[in-house]
Amino acid sequence: MTLLSVNVNKIAVLRNSRGGDQPDVSTAAQACIAAGAHGITVHPRPDQRHIRPGDVTAIKAILDGRVEFNIEGNAFAPPRGDYPGLLELARTAQPQQCTLVPDGDAQLTSDHGFDLRTDAPRLAPLVAELKSHGCRVSLFVDADVADLERAAQIGADRVEIYTGPYALAHARGDYGRELDACVRCAQSARAVGLGVNAGHDLSQSNLATLKNAIPFLAEVSIGHALIGEALYAGLDATVKAYLRLLGA
């Protein structure tokens, strides 16, 4: 079964745009869990543009082992102000999964994966430290990534395929090449013993096609489209719609 982890970053964006504590990120996470979501994802950044360290602590408290907690972020980014760094957040929150992403302040959103040929040596000690805290470790990769065996060699458990190009091509109605790239990446990862996650710009319009092409997909992380669709249909109905698409 492919699990659905709901990324609640956009709830924090809306809250931060006004100040105060509404809409409440933890309440949104609770609603997603009540609707049947298998996990909650957050992606805190050093500039705290959306999820803040306090949100990580609050969400950890409400999850209490009921569903998976996935924290994404750039482990190379040093602490800044109230942001203690991804490794420290993982140490204190002990999420079931930590997804490493090569993002920076200048990126509006994650838009590329790791180059394992050059990044693997730097990632190795970070992967080891995260696993010492009990985290499953996933690495964000492009669909055409080379040397996937390096991810397995440094101790990663999974890769998350960056599905942005696939989603863009799907919207154009010409997605064959990008879908094939995702499938090849998934098959290559599986061949070297890695689990396969996927995320970025997945929506109700393109998820089923990806799931059918990669039936062994372990997990999808969906935020932007899901929260946008929920503005019209509500979180409960939208989460349940995604679960139906995944056959969950």
Give the C-alpha distances (Å, rounded to integers) separating 74 from 17, 18, 115, 136, 220: 23, 26, 14, 16, 19
| Each residue's pLDDT expressed in tens, for the chain with a length of 248 residues | 999 999 999 999 999 999 999 999 999 999 999 999 999 999 999 999 999 999 999 999 999 789 999 999 998 988 999 999 999 999 999 999 999 999 765 555 666 799 999 999 999 999 999 999 999 999 999 999 999 999 999 999 999 999 999 999 999 999 999 999 999 999 999 999 999 999 999 999 999 999 999 999 999 999 999 999 999 999 999 999 999 999 97
Global pTM value: 0.95
Domains of the chain, by residue range, sit at 3-245
**The domain over range 3-245 is classified in CATH as 3.30.360.10:** no
DSSP 183-230: HHHHHHHHHTT-EEEEESS--TTTHHHHHHH-TT--EEEE-HHHHHHH
Which residue is listed with tokens 């950890």?
Answer: 60
Provide the CA 132 distance to its chain's centre, in angstroms: 21
> Which amino acids are annotated catalytic?
43, 72, 200
Say which residue the tokens 């302040």 belong to: 105
